[in-house]
Structure 1
Amino acid sequence: MTKFDMGAAWDDTLLLLKSHTALVIAIAGVFFFLPALAFAWFGPAPVEPPAGADFEQLMASFRESARQMIPGQIVVALSTMVGTAAILRLWLARTGVSVGEALTFGFMLFPTMLVAQILTGIAIGIGIILLIVPGLYLVGRLALVAPAIADRAIYNPIDAIRTSWELTRNNGWSVFFFLLLVAIVIFIVALIIGGVLAVIAGSGPGFGSMAGGFVEAMFGAISSLFSAAVAAAAYRQLALRGASDVFQ
């Protein structure tokens, strides 16, 4: 059984991010960044609670904001899913793949990715309800579903979940902490830059709001790209594939 090596996976993550750079940035820009930017700029503004609001009023405002934002967030998530499948295909394909072929693959595998995402989300959600720890463990065990779909063209979401489960056997916590560490770094950097921008441009309507939306969309795209890369790197390592398979 392969022992997961975080250091090697991080090195492979950087190697992946350097491969197909122009093509990956183009796909990420169209499917990650632009939908998120459109939602940030033109989506509904958060519902502000009235002055001196009590807890119930605060919760009502939160629920109304969530209700208004859900449709746009779903569109962004679906677009991100297609882009992720295409980028993973570029990174993991054993033979040369054009952008058109990668995008076609992304759209063809979209139903599988969607169903697999729903099933894994339900499983992780149930695990979170069960004292949180089981859900965190499932994050690590199910992290390789998307790379497995992209690499092996798996059309059955159950098979994709089973593949991730087998590949991460005895490595679930290691994969989870690897994903967590990368997410924490991205989150901290986003907070710092967002805070600096808020001081410089302000957070009110107009330029400050647009700049904030731009930064939010940019880091959302970067986060999605890194998430795909770390999952692909973990998959490559646990599937016993060599670094020579990556296009340079």
Structure 2
Amino acid sequence: MVKFDMGAAWDDTLQLLKSHTALVGTIAGVFLFLPTLAVAWFGPVPIEPPAGADINQVMEGFRESFRQMIPGQIAIALCTLIGTAAILRLWLSRTGTSVGEALTFGFMLFPTMLAIQILCGFAIGFGFILLIIPGLYLLGRLALVAPAVADRSLYNPFEAIRTSWDLTRENGWAIFFFLFLVGLVIVIAALIVGGVVSVIAGSGPGLGRILGGFVEAAFGAAGSLVSIAVSAAAYRQLTLRTSSDVFQ
């Protein structure tokens, strides 16, 4: 059984991020950055509780804000699925792939990616209900589903999930901690930059919302792109191949 090496995976992640930069940047800009920016600029504004509001009023405002955000977040998630499949296809393809071919692949695999997202979401959510730890473990075991779909053109979501489960055997926790550490760095950086922008431009309508939305979209796209590269690097490392069937 191949043991997961975080250092090697990070080196490969950087290599992936440097490859096909123009093509990947085009797809990431359209499917990862612009949808988030559109929602941030034109979507509903979070409801601020009135001065002196009690806990019930605060919670009611939170629930209403969350309800208003759902359509926009669904749209972002659906665009991200297409962009993820297309970017992974570019990175994992053994032959030259154009943006058009990658996007065609992403649209064709969209139903499969959506089914996988729902199935994995239910599984991980149920794992979190069972005292959180099983959910964290499942995050690691299911991290390679999307790369498996992109590499092997798997249209059966259950086969894709089984492939990730087989590849991550005895490496689930290592992959989870790798994803967690990378994600933590991105979140901290986003909070710092977002806080600075909020102090300089404010958080109200006008310039504050424009700059805040741009920062949110930029870090959202960058975070998604790094997460995709991390999963692809882990997949490349744990996929056993012959000398005539390797990633270049």
Give the TM-score, by structure 2 length. Answer: 0.97
Residue equivalent to 2:9:
9
User: Residue 245 of structure 1 aligns with which residue?
Assistant: 247
Q: Deviations over 1:137-178 (max 9, x none)?
A: 000000000000000000000000000000000000000000
Alignment RMSD: 1.3
**Is 1:230 aligned to residue 230 of structure 2?**
yes
SS of equivalent to 1:245: coil
**What's the counterpart of residue 211 of structure 1?**
211
Residue equivalent to 1:67: 67
| 1:13-92 matches, cutoff 5 A | 13-92=13-92
Deviation string for 1:92-119 (max 9, x for gaps)? 0111111110000000000000000110
The residue type equivalent to 2:247 in the other structure is D
After TM superposition, give the deviation of residue 232 of structure 1 in Å: 0.3
Contact 2:124–2:138 (8 Å) recurs in 1: yes
Name the count of aligned residue pairs. Answer: 246
**Aligned partners of 1:43, 1:155: CA distance in 2, in Å?**
34
Q: Which letter does structure 2 place at the counterpart of 1:98? A: S
Partner of 1:116: 116
Decide which moves more: 130-139 or 190-199.
190-199
Using the TM superposition, give the Cα deviation of residue 244 of structure 1 relative to its aligned residue in structure 2, in angstroms.
Answer: 6.4
- In the aligned structure 2, how far is the partner of 1:18 from the partner of 1:152? 23
Deviation of the 1:209 alpha carbon = 1.3
Structure 1 counterpart of 2:102, one-letter code: A
Distance 2:72 2:200 in 1: 28
Q: How far apart are residue 204 of structure 1 and its match?
A: 2.0
Separation of aligned partners in 1, 2:7 and 2:200: 37
Cα shift readout 1:173-225 (whole Å, capped 9, x = no counterpart): 00000000000111111111111212222222210111000000000000110
Aligned twin of 1:170: 170
Distance (whole Å) between structure 1 residues aligned to residue 247 and residue 168 of structure 2: 20
- Cα separation, 2, equivalents of 1:69 and 1:209: 16
Distance 1:202 1:15 in 2: 37
> Aligned partner of 1:197: which letter?
V
Identity in percent: 74
Q: SS at the partner of 1:173? A: helix
Deviation at 1:50, TM superposition (A): 2.0
Structure 1: where are the runs of 5+ without partners? none
What's the CA shift for 1:122?
Answer: 0.4
Counterpart residue type for residue 49 of structure 2: P
Contact 2:236–2:247 (8 Å) recurs in 1: no
Which digits, 9 at most, give the CA deviation of each residue in 1:68-110, with x for residues without a partner?
1100110011001100000000000111111110000000000
Q: Aligned partners of 1:111, 1:4: CA distance in 2, in Å? A: 30
Q: Report the Cα distance in structure 1 between the residues aligned to 2:85 and 2:20, rounded to whole angstroms.
A: 15
Distance, in Å, in 2 between the alignment partners of 1:157 and 1:61 is 38
For residue 78 of structure 2, give the secondary structure of its aligned residue in structure 1: helix
Q: Distance in 2 between matches of 1:99 and 1:240?
A: 28
Q: Which segment drifts farther, 104-113 or 92-101?
A: 92-101
| Cross-structure match for 2:144 | 144
Q: Distance in 2 between matches of 1:101 and 1:204?
A: 42
